[in-house]
Structure 1
Amino acid sequence: MTSVTSLFAPVEADLEILTENLKKLVGSRHPILYAAAEHLFEAGGKRVRPAIVLLVSRATMQEHDLTARHRRLAEITELIHTASLVHDDVVDEAAVRRGVPTVHSLFGNRVAILAGDFLFAQSSWYLAHLDSLEVVKLLSQVIMDMAQGEIQQGLYQFDASLSLETYLQKSYYKTASLIANSAKAAAVLSELPPALADNLYNYGRHLGLAFQIVDDIFDFTGSTEALGKPAGSDLRSGNLTAPVLYALEEKPHLETLIEGGFEQEGEWEQAIALIAESQGIERSRQLAKHHAQLAVDALADLPPSPALQALIEMTDYVLRRAY
């Protein structure tokens, strides 16, 4: 079974450089914002998104070493992702992230929102200095998509009429857009033909969708300790995901419970039980598997390399969390 550490072996040294550079990028001119950012970077995380950028870079620059622009793109990707987490935690009122207290629980909402804004601003500044208009457009789109995803999630709270198509669109905005557009941006920096760059966008899009679907499955199947929050907490807050949408097709009473906002004692537990009895989890696994296969298919035109193999195996790593 491939661990995420061995999966990133082709870019292990690159990720060590990235971790050191992240704190330097933020700078220390603003002590509280720097403390908030440093706290996030010290918390670690798997660095999946910058690792994908670095793997795509290595898979498309086989005869050459990575350029400084490829490395900076990976760092910008992690800055954007981290900024979005800070804002998400404020919206979700989450007390813990990656096993450590969230920025807003340590520094307050005002500093957390400013810290997220600061990281977005820093990422935009470094992005402009890559001197690639196409890459600027790709990553700027990501920041817009993330905001759109949050808005969409808020609009559809406790709305049992949410379609699977709208759910997947929201999942793209919130999770897959960053992976898709940063993978394509790495291909652009490697000067790949447009068709191959589009293939890498599709790889990131489908991998990102599989990643989010599996995350949504894990919200029901994972332990509170592993999740860092109570199991089923997305449903409790009115965020309807693939397992719920599939379960709604089988269990009509679930709609009544959701639309009522689980106001009566025992209703949320009843909803969890209905989802567990349905085919919602299994059908969601099949949906994630479908997108993972589409991600692998998108890599067909790349020449063999350790980095390419790692990108392929990334899909298996993502799917394993669904079981």
Structure 2
Amino acid sequence: MALLRAASFRLGPICHRTLSLFSNPSPSDWSKVVSDAEKIVGYPTSFMSLRCLLSDELSHVAMHVRRLAGTNHPLLNTARGFVQDSRNNLQMRGLVVLLMSKAAGPSVAATGLSQEDMVSGIYPSQRSLAEITELIHTAFLVHRGIVNLKDWSSSDGPLKDMQFGNKMAVLSGDFLLANACTGLAQLNNTKVVELMSGAIGDLVQGIYYESSGTAEESSMTEDVTVASWEEQTFLSHGALLAKSCQAALELANHNAELQSLAFIYGKHMSLAHKINSDLQPFVNGSASDLMAFSLNCAPVVFHRQLMGSERWTLELQQARTAGEHTDYAKLWKAIKADEGISSSVDLCRYHGNKALNAIECFPPSEARSALENIACAVTKF
């Protein structure tokens, strides 16, 4: 209870907006948020990733990916998501970078930059940065599709095809990352290169921690606190957007204070988005129609911290069937009945409010309103 009171104490007022990203089963509300924002920046950001994905080199890769049809290799589903829907939110990071660029506007201290070069209030270099951000995100999304062949079963598909899919995931992800690095060099800004290369390093570190903690055995013994979960989640999900927002303002020669606020918005918006995603199996799912959830997601981490390591280990052992598989429906009921869900909702709203507070000093504009709408959309339940 002390943990819950501490979490409640630090929360600001809850944002009350009608826009919602997840609570409505229809994607129409979120599509409207994205559509309205794209009109503001004057750029169809949903095509940013496609510009690279439809290049001659990667089109050649895509032809080979067809070989994975009929298998359960994650790379196939990732490729479908690029062109069929917005489930992976491919355009969102670039869109936020463009909105942040426009919300900040041109800097009075800008040297060597002409406002005549701006399109819809955004410099060409900032648009390039938005595309680079998407390339980096897409590259790591593809790399995450590598399958652990130790867990392979015949139902997943032929072993040789799964091995081939792993090779394609490595090569195509590396290709996207190389293009992103080339684009960074062309920006001719050493601080931006330093920021974005740091974001890539953070992603690698965060995914390493994430992967090393996915095994159920480590989930039983590892004492993950809410604070350590936030640190790891920032590395794997927040650092790229936070540093991209900061880099966008650096390209316009804004001062360090404004760059810091842009970083804070990107950081807390990403954390709120991740917590919202983690909560979906518990706020929109049921034991009979259970959505998959990770044993290292935010509600489970809160539940484990409230329960204590020994009780959590015992609870997880009791949920095991036949000594191997975990009864997630049983775990879901235990977590749902606890206060970990409400604590996660509070933490999501806390991060959403921190993001909103970060852009309060930006001049009122359509771009700032769009950033506010996005932050509020991921804190609506």
Pair 1:11-2:11 in alignment: no
Cα distance between partner residues in 2 of 1:118 and 1:48: 21
Which residue does 2:268 correspond to in 1? 206
Which residue does 1:42 correspond to in 2? 83
Which residue does 2:378 correspond to in 1? 318
Cα distance between partner residues in 2 of 1:53 and 1:71: 8
Cα distance between partner residues in 1 of 2:52 and 2:285: 36
Shift of 1:92: 7.9
Give runs of aligned pairs for residues 8-87 of structure 1, distance below 5 A. 8=34, 9-12=36-39, 14-16=42-44, 19=47, 22-24=50-52, 27-29=55-57, 31-33=59-61, 35=63, 41-45=82-86, 46=89, 47-61=91-105, 64-65=118-119, 66-87=122-143
TM (norm. structure 2) is 0.71
Residues 112 and 222 of structure 1: is their aligned pair in 2 closer, same or farther, counting only changes over 3 Å? Answer: farther
Give runs of aligned pairs for residues 129-140 of structure 1, distance below 5 A. 129-140=186-197
Residues 25 and 127 of structure 1: is their aligned pair in 2 closer, same or farther, counting only changes over 3 Å? Answer: farther
CA contact (8 A) 2:95 2:130 kept: yes
Which residue does 2:341 correspond to in 1? 281
CA contact (8 A) 1:246 1:280 kept: yes
Give runs of aligned pairs for residues 265-304 of structure 1, distance below 5 A. 267-304=327-364
Task: Give the residue type in structure 2 aligned to 1:126.
Answer: G
Shift of 1:91: 5.0
Cα distance between partner residues in 1 of 2:377 and 2:343: 19
Cα distance between partner residues in 2 of 1:92 and 1:213: 26
Which residue does 1:220 correspond to in 2? 282
Cα distance between partner residues in 2 of 1:251 and 1:32: 51
**Deviating more after overlay: 45-54 vs 1-10:** 1-10
**Deviating more after overlay: 280-289 vs 248-257:** 248-257
CA contact (8 A) 1:160 1:255 kept: no
Which SS does the other structure have where 1:202 is aligned? helix
CA contact (8 A) 1:54 1:74 kept: yes
TM (norm. structure 1) is 0.83
Which SS does the other structure have where 2:142 is aligned? helix
Task: Give the residue type in structure 1 aligned to 2:349.
Answer: K
Which residue does 2:213 correspond to in 1? 156
Question: How many pairs align?
Answer: 304
Which residue does 1:99 correspond to in 2? none
Q: Of 166, 171, 174, which aligns to 1:109?
A: 166
Cα distance between partner residues in 1 of 2:325 and 2:62: 44
Residues 19 and 270 of structure 1: is their aligned pair in 2 closer, same or farther, counting only changes over 3 Å? Answer: same
Task: Tell me the alpha carbon deviations over residues 47-75 of structure 1, each in whole angstroms, 9 at most, x when there is no partner.
Answer: 11111011011112267532221111111
Residues 257 and 69 of structure 1: is their aligned pair in 2 closer, same or farther, counting only changes over 3 Å? Answer: same
Identity of aligned residues (%): 26
Residues 21 and 247 of structure 1: is their aligned pair in 2 closer, same or farther, counting only changes over 3 Å? Answer: closer
Which residue does 1:234 correspond to in 2? 294
Residues 269 and 17 of structure 1: is their aligned pair in 2 closer, same or farther, counting only changes over 3 Å? Answer: closer
Residues 186 and 242 of structure 1: is their aligned pair in 2 closer, same or farther, counting only changes over 3 Å? Answer: same
Task: Tell me the alpha carbon deviations over residues 85-126 of structure 1, each in whole angstroms, 9 at most, x when there is no partner.
Answer: 112232589xxxxxxxxxx97961111121111111111111
Task: Tell me the alpha carbon deviations over residues 3-26 of structure 1, each in whole angstroms, 9 at most, x when there is no partner.
Answer: 333333243364426616742576
Shift of 1:31: 4.5
CA contact (8 A) 2:45 2:94 kept: no
**Deviating more after overlay: 19-28 vs 177-186:** 19-28
CA contact (8 A) 1:55 1:311 kept: yes
Task: Give the residue type in structure 1 aligned to 2:364.
Answer: P
- Kindly report the root-mean-square deviation, in angstroms, between the aligned alpha carbons of the 2 structures: 3.0
Which SS does the other structure have where 1:282 is aligned? helix
CA contact (8 A) 2:126 2:248 kept: yes
CA contact (8 A) 2:261 2:358 kept: yes
Residues 24 and 179 of structure 1: is their aligned pair in 2 closer, same or farther, counting only changes over 3 Å? Answer: closer
Higher gyration radius (CA):
2
CA contact (8 A) 1:69 1:130 kept: yes
More helix by share: 1
Which SS does the other structure have where 1:108 is aligned? helix
Cα distance between partner residues in 1 of 2:335 and 2:43: 39
Residues 145 and 259 of structure 1: is their aligned pair in 2 closer, same or farther, counting only changes over 3 Å? Answer: farther
**Deviating more after overlay: 104-113 vs 115-124:** 104-113
